[in-house]
Structure 1
Amino acid sequence: MPLQLEFSDEIQDALRIPPDEQEGRLRRELAWLYEKGLLSLGKARQLAGMEKWNFLLLLAQEGISRQYDKKELVRDLSILNHLP
């Protein structure tokens, strides 16, 4: 379920972000929080209201590397080793 936040006109004006850019900008801010380790990948993409692959694309567009732990690497290498 996508999270929807409503900001008062006062907050929108203070942000100095045009209304048509607010959603994209807030998604990029969530990507930044992920990069800084303040949100997990799953939580950041959930709050952004995006599918996993679309959020990963956003990370790539913003030059943000996916945080990858050893457990994930071992799992992915195992999958690759079993491909024909």
Structure 2
Amino acid sequence: MKYISVRVRNGLVCHGYDADNQEILEELKDDTFVEKLLLIDRIQSIGEKYILVTASHGRAMYWEYEGGFEALKARLYKADLLI
């Protein structure tokens, strides 16, 4: 298994979808970033602000991260985790 160290804070939790196929989102507010070792296989996507990861019970989480998109992309590329 491969991991990446990332400083993140909670952003949004997706609890599923409603009858209109809209995400049911819960916004979480954390003031501070914490360092986490993130299993690469949990990453669904990375955007300018959030890393979308799979979570337990069929949920998905949007974690806000530090460092910026280009820096994170470069780290993944350097680790041969980006094509």
TM-score bin, normalised by smaller chain? 0.3 to 0.5
The structure carrying a bigger helix percent of its residues is 1
TM-score by length of 2: 0.34
Whose strand proportion is higher, 1 or 2?
A: 2
Q: Which has the larger radius of gyration?
A: 1
